[in-house]
Amino acid sequence: MPTKTETRGRKPLPLDKKKAPQATVKINNFILPFVQELKGNLKKGMVSDETLVGLFSVLKGTEQQASVFNDPDAVSIVAELQEKIHALEAEKRISDSKLAKQQEVSLNLAQERDKEHLNVVHTESKLNGLKSSYRLLKHDHAALLHREHDCMAIKGDGQRCTKKSTNDTVQNGILIHVCVQHAKSLAKRAQQ
Ligand SMILES: [Zn+2]
């Protein structure tokens, strides 16, 4: 009985062309397009060790950083930015210290102003004291002038005459100042 030749299914490969056993995994539909793309690229010879390292770093979230620091343009831009940041920080330190000095100056000025304000208040109260002393002295002065220059005669109602004295007259051996009217009346009385 002759052996029946198997015609169904895939023809078995010759022994020397048999592939090594491959891992079999079930692929979730969500990531299937990615795996297919990767397999396609692998067939085209486009997947190297570097590609895999790159893909792994993408999965680990370190890819961007790595690629930024591998790109000389990016590195020089980063260096430039860092330089600018340092310059800005230096400027900030300078303006901070200027501000601190200004605040100190303002504080000193405020203290100075408060001191001056106190001086002004003090001076004002002194001035008010002097003003009232002046008023009292002026009053005394007026009273003294009145005593010195007003008529010294006593009127009929017993009050001192307030007219300006114009004449000197001697009464009972004392020299007194009197007004024109009292000078006349005193002279008349002396004649009687
Ligand atoms: Zn008089």
Give SS3 for 159. Answer: coil
How many angstroms is it from 190 CA to the middle of ligand 1? 16
How far apart are the C-alpha atoms of 93 and 52, rounded to whole Å?
Answer: 47
Query: Using one digit for the tens of pLDDT, what is the confidence trace for 73-130?
Result: 878 888 899 999 999 999 999 999 999 999 999 999 999 999 999 999 999 999 999 9
Angle at 44 between CA 41 and CA 48, to 5 degrees: 65
Residue 68's pLDDT band (cuts 50, 70, 90): low
What is the DSSP pairing of strand 167-171 with strand 174-178? Answer: antiparallel
Give the mean pLDDT of 172-179: 90
**DSSP H or E stretch at residue 143:** helix 72-149
Q: At a CB cut-off of 8 Å and minimum separation 6, what does 186 contact?
A: 153, 169, 171, 178
Q: Are 178 and 151 in contact (CB under 8 A)?
A: yes
Cα–Cα distance, 146 to 164 (Å, whole number): 8
- Residues with Cβ within 8 Å of residue 180, at least 6 apart in sequence: 163, 166, 167
Between the CA of 124 and the centroid of ligand 1 the distance, in Å, is 44
Global pTM reads: 0.35
* pLDDT beyond 60 at 2: no
The H-or-E segment that residue 175 falls in is: strand 174-178
Residues whose CB falls within 8 Å of the CB of residue 67, separated by 6 or more in sequence, listed in order:
74
Helix (H) or strand (E) holding 60: helix 49-60
Residue 171 CA, ligand 1 centroid: distance in Å: 14
Mean pLDDT of the chain: 86
Percent of the chain with pLDDT over 90: 48
Report CA(186)–ligand 1 centroid distance (Å): 10
Task: State the distance from the centre of ligand 1 to the C-alpha of 138, rounded, in angstroms.
Answer: 24
Joined tokens for residue 150: 């007003």
**Mean pLDDT of the region 43-72:** 79
